[in-house]
Structure 1
Amino acid sequence: MNIVFVEPHFPKSQREFVRALAEAGAFVMGVGETPAEYLDDQLRSWMGHYEQVGSVTDLEAMTHVVRRLQSWVWVDRLESTIESHMMPAAMVREATGIPGTSVHTTWLCRDKPSMKEALRAAGVPTAASVAADDVEQIRAFAAQVGYPLVLKPRDGAGAAATSRVDNDSQLEEALGQFGHGTTSIAVEEFVEGHEGFYDTISINGEPALDFASHYYPGVLEAMRTRWVSPQYIATNRIDSGGLYDEIREMGRTVVQALGIQTSATHMEWFHGPKGLRFSEIGARPPGVGCWDLYSAGNDIDVYRAWAEAVLYGHTDIRPTRSHSAGIIALRPDRDGTISHYSGLEDVENRMGRWIIDAHLPGSGTPTQPVANGYMANAWIRMRHPDYDVLRTMLDDVGSSVQVHAH
């Protein structure tokens, strides 16, 4: 099959999708922003053809390139895996007659108020929300629902530009940060509870492979608090019933209600006093190297499973659930440049056999803002057959290892 893959070079994890497609038998045609001469030999070897464009979100340029490729060969699929690329890719598919996730489904997965409206109609429990076009709508929603509230861009990804407000004065401050040029934002009831995510590779509207993960602490706190060493853990207990059966049923309903056919999905959820609540979905793989953890914890190549689903509409790859796997982010104690680490040797001596890999930028490396996420600075990834033991080990790493900056 002939596959157009959007942006094969950046970020670094993109190459894994290209590799998997090539190994599964696809003729891969990459379209990206990096000049061809800057691509390394290995990445080139996985692609039969590569085209450079000024921007992969430029609809006119992308449509032109894809139509030119269609004049040479039959194009079976066009795939993208980055949130900001999803809508342009869907629009190009629609303009060129290539199968894949539709513009309507992509819009539902990106526009949070419309997403929640569709899911509430399908019986999926979600937080109360509104798409607000002016400040009076937001104030009225706050008066009706009460605090806390969460404000976010309608098509934002993760915790980007997201604010929690607990009273009227914080609301006014947050509205000022969004600025007068903002035409519409999503305002949601804050749902108290534990936060996690549920990921699938869905085929023909049914989750074929699935994984569940847990955040410690929740994302908003993790992205805004320097002293926290946040972690998330992909559990190997998803087949144990209980809450996980509820999550799976919710996920299946979401996939079908939004019209998702064959695609990776990434769904955020909360569980607390009000029970299980759906948060949001992306019709794409999760970020932050999550599929690497799923692969390490389940003795499989998740990228290959995705490639087989895309190419052939099925995959025989099945997770073993042999290990839980997690990542812990290690934050520098201040902004500046990294000077040294403490506690690393001790952690390696005590827990080295369970370490998957690590990223430990050297002395002199500029630090990155805490809000840039789990992989912005140093991190360590680990796995263990017992979920509770792994969580204890990651907590141990967080308290034992310090990243010093000056």
Structure 2
Amino acid sequence: MAWDGEKPLLLLIGSSGQRSREFILRTVSTRYALWLLQPAPVSWEEPYVVGSTTVDNTDPKALTAAARQVAAEHAVAGVFCYDEGLVTPAAHVARALGLPGNSPESVIACRDKAATRAALETARVPQPASIGVRSLAEARAAAEKIGFPVVLKPRGLAGGMGVRKADGPDDVESAYRAASGASYPGVPVFDVSVLVEEFADGPEISVDAVFFDGECVPLVVARKQVGLAPFFEETGHEVDGADPLLTDPGLLEALRSAHAALDFHTGVSHTEFRITGGGLRLMEVNARLGGDMIPYLGELATGVDVAMAAADTAAGVRPDTEVRHRKAAAIAFLYPDEDIEIDAVTVHEDRFPAGVHSADAMAGPGAVLRLPPRGYISRYARVIALADSVEQARAALLSAPEIVELDSRPAEVPAP
């Protein structure tokens, strides 16, 4: 992308995957010039960036040095990052350059679920009981102490990766193996690597909220669908632009209290709750935009550009949170029934019923998809619906398996 120097420059720390994150760069690049810092050369990001630096962006020192070189030649307005594994190095860069953002300590407290639990307990934010463990024996003891059912999860991951429910003592070993074996690039592995937590029963929601100048504004409430029990794979989300939780005083207070406890004050976060019989229980706080296209669903449902709000706060600019309309958007992710190797994924646009907005393949020929615990987030396609009501959007998504045709074969069994 050509740059005339007029747009404010943001340092973009990593681009993540094109299928799930291109919508962010497409919108943010209309207002900001983006300079990409990542190990790989520019590829699909080329239309959206004005420059790039090849650097190990998981190394705070190397990344900061590279950022200083860019800042020596150009005026930098902010640091922009939405990748789970890179938010901590990005925070180091923002602090080193004196740019808007949260401290690395705050971001680490969000990324480290044990640290999150400790901070929220001090602030008396309602949450499940949680015990960190480093062995199967400790996991068994923690589960007995908390009481079944329990949930075992990796201490530093998100998106349901490695999370498994244990209904009784016989389930603890397999749940511990799943939680302790999951990983994600750029995310540290802790000595006390697994959390055993009280199972909070009730619907799951996530909230993308923007924090700026002492204010907290919820932008998106997504009602989550999960599947592949006893795992917690996120199979879809529903976003209602008129969701009453957007203005619920209890939710707003929970968001304010939790983020104050974590010292998160600038940017868009993604916070997950369970709505239990005893009220809201906070599950986790992520110091970044939500994944699974949730910010995009929010924009479809309300007209509020959530990705741009994140970019604005990174530049120290008050975000635009004005709602333009109130519709309903939903997304369904398609999973195979077994471990497969893909031959082809074909989207049949001529089969779109009323209400279907778009459909995209998420994996191509030769890709191997394995179901939990052998693999996670093993989706071959997604379908998005946009309608006047959640019920209409939900009904439109019933056609998802007919819209997307999957040709595959059983995957080879991996060597032990």
Cα pair distance change 1:300/1:276, threshold 3 Å: closer
Deviations 1:265-322 (A, max 9, x none): 1011111333221100101001122222112222343323332333243133422342
Contact 2:222 2:294 in 1 (8 A): no
Q: What is the DSSP-based 3-state SS (H/G/I as helix, E as strand, rest coil) of the residue aligned with 1:337? A: strand
Residues of 2 paired with 1:216 and 1:400: CA distance? 20
Q: What is the DSSP-based 3-state SS (H/G/I as helix, E as strand, rest coil) of the residue aligned with 2:66? A: helix
TM-score by length of 1: 0.84
1:405 is the counterpart of 2:408:
yes
Q: What is the DSSP-based 3-state SS (H/G/I as helix, E as strand, rest coil) of the residue aligned with 2:156? A: coil
Residues of 2 paired with 1:128 and 1:71: CA distance? 48
Q: What is the DSSP-based 3-state SS (H/G/I as helix, E as strand, rest coil) of the residue aligned with 1:315? A: coil
Match of 2:386 in 1: 383
Deviations 1:1-53 (A, max 9, x none): 442111146445545444544432x44322122224x4565224xx2x31111
Deviations 1:40-68 (A, max 9, x none): 65224xx2x31111x21022321221222
Deviations 1:50-105 (A, max 9, x none): 1111x210223212212222333443422211010011222333444443111111
Of 252-261 and 366-375, the range deviating more from structure 2: 366-375
The equivalent position to 1:290 in structure 2, one of 281, 285, 294, is 294
Contact 1:236 1:387 in 2 (8 A): no
Match of 1:35 in 2: 41
Deviation at 1:376, TM superposition (A): 2.6
Deviation at 1:211, TM superposition (A): 1.1
Contact 1:347 1:397 in 2 (8 A): no
Residues of 2 paired with 1:191 and 1:102: CA distance? 30
The equivalent position to 1:5 in structure 2, one of 7, 12, 15, is 12
Residues of 1 paired with 2:140 and 2:378: CA distance? 36
The equivalent position to 1:252 in structure 2, one of 245, 256, 261, is 256
Of 75-84 and 106-115, the range deviating more from structure 2: 75-84
The equivalent position to 1:52 in structure 2, one of 51, 54, 60, is 54
**What letter is aligned with 1:3?**
L
Match of 1:203 in 2: 212
Q: How does 1:7-406 map to 2 (within 5 A)?
A: 7-8=14-15, 10-24=17-31, 26-36=32-42, 38=43, 41-44=46-49, 47=50, 49-53=51-55, 55-176=56-177, 178=180, 183-184=191-192, 185-217=194-226, 230-239=235-244, 244-334=248-338, 335-338=340-343, 347-348=351-352, 351=353, 353-360=354-361, 364=365, 366=367, 368-370=369-371, 376-397=379-400, 403-406=406-409
Cα pair distance change 1:363/1:88, threshold 3 Å: closer
Deviation at 1:160, TM superposition (A): 1.4
Residues of 2 paired with 1:211 and 1:51: CA distance? 33
Percent identity of the aligned residues? 23
Residues of 2 paired with 1:169 and 1:389: CA distance? 42
Contact 1:355 1:382 in 2 (8 A): yes
Match of 2:186 in 1: none
The structure richer in helix per residue is 1
Q: Which runs of 5+ in 1 are unaligned?
A: none
Contact 1:355 1:383 in 2 (8 A): yes
Q: What is the DSSP-based 3-state SS (H/G/I as helix, E as strand, rest coil) of the residue aligned with 1:381? A: strand
TM-score by length of 2: 0.82
Contact 2:28 2:311 in 1 (8 A): yes
Deviations 1:102-158 (A, max 9, x none): 111111101112212211322321000022244454333222211122222211112
**What letter is aligned with 1:318?**
E
Contact 2:349 2:403 in 1 (8 A): no
Residues of 1 paired with 2:377 and 2:138: CA distance? 34
Deviations 1:307-356 (A, max 9, x none): 233324313342234211011122334413246779x68852xx2x4221
**What letter is aligned with 2:64?**
T
Q: What is the DSSP-based 3-state SS (H/G/I as helix, E as strand, rest coil) of the residue aligned with 1:157? A: coil
Q: Give the alignment's Cα RMSD to 1 decimal.
A: 3.2
Cα pair distance change 1:405/1:51, threshold 3 Å: same
Of 146-155 and 305-314, the range deviating more from structure 2: 305-314
Q: What is the DSSP-based 3-state SS (H/G/I as helix, E as strand, rest coil) of the residue aligned with 2:172? A: helix
Contact 2:289 2:310 in 1 (8 A): no
Contact 1:333 1:405 in 2 (8 A): no
Cα pair distance change 1:88/1:345, threshold 3 Å: closer
**What letter is aligned with 1:160?**
M
- After TM superposition, the runs of 4+ consecutive aligned structure 1 residues lying more than 6 A away are 372-375, 399-402
Deviation at 1:218, TM superposition (A): 5.7
Q: Which runs of 5+ in 2 are unaligned?
A: 1-7, 182-188, 410-416
Contact 2:15 2:21 in 1 (8 A): yes
